């Protein structure tokens, strides 16, 4: 039972939690391309890829636009940055605490 609407970071991290979706993002990081091209390296059906793309799109990590009968996909950098930012913030806290501890131990041998 989901009680709260799903926040942006939930969707972003959730989208990053599957190897095929990370593979798709990795491919997109080197330039936009079509759905067929994104699907090629993975051995799942076209509908499966379509679902992964929807999850990435809903998470705001990627966008699609039509080009003839193809769809061209493009990474969206902002949400990736937000996800990274969250982790970074935690690690900053954590490291600051460890530094303080280290300093304390040095000063109180």
Binding site for DNA (CB under 7 A): 1-3, 14, 17-18, 20-21, 34-36, 39, 43-55, 64, 66, 68-71
The residues near 44 (Cβ < 8 Å, ≥ 6 apart) are 20
**Please, which residues bridge with residue 66 across strands?**
71
Q: Does 53 sit near a second copy (CB under 8 A)?
A: no
Strand ranges in the chain using DSSP code E only, listed in sequence order:
33-34, 62-67, 70-75
In angstroms, what is the minimal distance from the CB of 63 to DNA?
A: 11
Radius of gyration of the chain (CA): 19
Q: Does 81 sit near a second copy (CB under 8 A)?
A: yes
Give the footprint of a second copy on residues 86-105 (CB under 8 A).
86-88, 90-91, 93-95, 97
Contact 82, 88 (CB under 8 A): no
| Closer residue to a second copy, CB minimum distance, 36 or 87 | 87
DSSP string for 75-97 = E-HHHHHHHHHHHHHHHHHHHHH
In angstroms, what is the minimal distance from the CB of 69 to a second copy?
A: 26
Euclidean distance between CA atoms 109 and 102, whole angstroms: 11
Binding stretches for a second copy (CB under 8 A): 4, 7, 9-11, 13-14, 16-19, 22, 25-26, 29-31, 75, 77, 80-81, 83-84, 86-88, 90-91, 93-95, 97
């Amino acid at each position: 039972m989901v009680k709260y609407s799903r926040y942006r970071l939930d969707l972003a991290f959730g989208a990053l939690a599957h190897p095929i979706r990370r593979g798709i993002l990795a491919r997109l990081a080197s330039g936009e391309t079509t759905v067929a091209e994104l699907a090629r390296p993975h051995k799942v059906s076209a509908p499966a890829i379509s679902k992964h793309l929807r999850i990435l799109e809903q998470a705001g990590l990627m966008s699609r636009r039509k080009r003839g009968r193809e769809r061209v996909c493009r990474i969206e950098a902002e949400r990736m940055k937000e996800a990274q930012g969250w982790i970074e913030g935690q690690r900053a806290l954590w490291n600051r605490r460890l530094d303080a501890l280290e300093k304390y131990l040095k000063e109180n041998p």
